[in-house]
Chain A
Amino acid sequence: MQWIKQHLLSAPHFYRLSTRLLPWISVITAILLIYGVIGGLFIAPADYQQGDGFRIIYVHVPSALLAMAIYSFMALCAVGVLVLRLKLASLALINSARIGVWFTFLALITGSLWGKPMWGTYWIWDARLTSMLVLLFLYIGIIALNDAIAERITREKSVALLALAGFINIPIIHYSVVWWSTLHQGSTITKLHPSIASSMLAPLLAMLAGFLGLFALLLILRMGAELQQQVTHD
């Protein structure tokens, strides 16, 4: 474990590895996003009930899934901070929050743009929408807490504790459509047999992979910049 901490999870190793990976991740992400956008907007057939309005799912679903996946990753980082005392985990946690907040914002905005033509309203206080709004506030709270505490160790521990406590919201978001009667439809792709035609599914999976690549790219860039700043200050 000590070897992993000193080598694989060390700041210099991360910096070297990430700068080597950056061009590859950038190219693969760009290809996936271009295919996903073209496939989602022009190639996938219109939905038999929702018409072309359903095309919003190609930006809404990946944003929402990423918003939850990034928070889950942050909870994992919080364990790394509190239990393993990894410096890199703390850096990954706060930078993930700064990225995740935007994916959550996008999930809410694109969701309301989908809701208006489908449900007749931009917003309703239903379980899925409200729990997603709570997630946005959690992200903002974590960023604000990080900015409010000057002392490093107290800051890192407080942020990790809040991230870990807020993780309870993730299963609530996921199962909200099962536990409560909501306007929001059930899962489309997060089950063994997706309830979507393969011609519609392919661009959606490409967008999902592209958004994941974008998160990796943004995290590497943000962490790399911060690590370099720390080296300069030291």
Chain B
Amino acid sequence: MTEWLHLSMGGYGGYVWPAYSVTAVVLAANVVFAYKRFSVSKPKEHGQ
């Protein structure tokens, strides 16, 4: 299962997965924060 998922990454899994994880977390947090700020500031349309 581990090999099928390629989790070990030929022995480099301990470096590859943290690199992808930290990138995903930082970029996702940036997007969520920016979207939230944008939604809050967005002018409400009439009738809503």
The interface of chain A, by Cβ under 8 A from chain B, is 37, 41-42, 46, 51-53, 55-56, 59-60, 63, 99, 102, 105-106, 109-110, 113-114, 116-117, 214, 217-218, 221-222, 224-226, 228-229, 231-232
Contact = CB atoms under 8 A, between A and B. Distances in A.
A222 B16 contact: no
A37 B34 contact: no
Contacts of A60: 19
A218 B31 contact: yes
Interface of B: 6, 9-13, 15-16, 18-20, 22-23, 26-27, 30-31, 34-35, 37-38, 40-43
A224 B15 contact: no
Q: Is the interface of B mostly helix, strand, loop or mixed?
A: helix
Give the residue among B11, B19, B34 with the most A Cβ atoms within 10 A: B19
Given A217-B31, A228-B42, 16 more contacts: A41-B20, A46-B10, A51-B10, A51-B11, A51-B12, A52-B6, A52-B9, A53-B12, A55-B9, A59-B23, A110-B19, A110-B23, A117-B12, A225-B38, A228-B43, A229-B41
A206 to B, nearest CB: 15
Contacts of A59: 19-20, 23
A67 B44 CA distance: 35
